[in-house]
Amino acid sequence: MPVNAKHALVLEDGTGKVLMEKNADAVVPIASLTKLMTAMVVLDAKPDMNEKIRIAQEDVDTLKHSASRVRVGAEMTRLAALKLALMSSENRAAAALARTYPGGLAGFTQAVQAKIRSLGLSHTAIAEPTGLSPANTSTAMEVAKIANAAARYPEISQITSDKKDVVPVNGRPREVHNTNRLVGAKGWDIQLSKTGYTEEAGRCLTMRMTSAGKPVTVVLLDADGSAQRLRDAAKIRQSLAKLHS
């Protein structure tokens, strides 16, 4: 498969037929693609999404010291935190969702392990909710399963397929933009999307989209940069158009 990403997979939804693949069974770090898992586990607990939660000192990334646009002490609803975590890949929001999970972080971690088992993921390990840790690993094949499971949650599909949204933080509206520039772009029909990046994982992307009238799941892991990741996605779309023409 002529893509820059070291691991890639395109699956036909419904049939599960592999249309293209490249090293799709190698276990590698998945960075913020983790947040799809975090979102599912949080929603499974059926918490009050309008309840206010506050960003705490322990939500701050001490591992990578990644930048954040949400200050410690910032207050928002759980739904706002979910939107920040999924759309703009805000690590503190994801950490706060896990920390305020029933039973705290320990309860969250247990629920994640149960979710991994229930989805039948034998090559996926999740150590924490953001994806900053290189110990969060999976394969392109299993990331496709995670994306397919996440797509069954209307909230996740809706949030991740929006180009932008306005989210109240501390009662003030804040505009958030999708980290995947292809969402809402001309000619792209994307129903679910999540990007990821850490030094260890490279540039990652998973999305469910309709191409040439066919629904497919795309996974790209460890591309060499944002431009390459977008180029890979465009190449895949062109190949699919030829395949289905």
State the catalytic residue, choosing from 89, 133, 138, 161.
89
Q: Give strand pairing partners of 22.
A: 8
DSSP state of 31: G
- In angstroms and rounded to an integer, the radius of gyration of the C-alpha atoms of the chain is 17
- 103 — alpha (psi -120 to 50), left (phi > 0) or beta? left
239 as an active site residue: the answer is: no
186 is in an annotated binding site: no
Catalytic residue among 35, 83, 115, 145: 35
Catalytic annotation present for 35:
yes
Scanning 119-225, the segments in alpha helix (DSSP H) are 140-150, 154-160
Residue type, 203: R
Residue 37's nearest CA partner among 92, 82, 104 is 82
**Nearest residue to 93 (alpha-carbon basis) of 101, 84, 102:** 84
Q: What does the alpha-carbon distance between residue 171 and residue 181 come to, in Å, rounded to a whole number? A: 27
Separation of alpha carbons 147 and 37, rounded Å: 9
Active site annotation includes 32: yes
Separation between Cα atoms, residue 173 and residue 203, nearest integer Å: 30
Annotated binding-site positions: 194
Catalytic residue list: 32, 35, 89
Annotated binding-site positions for substrate: 194
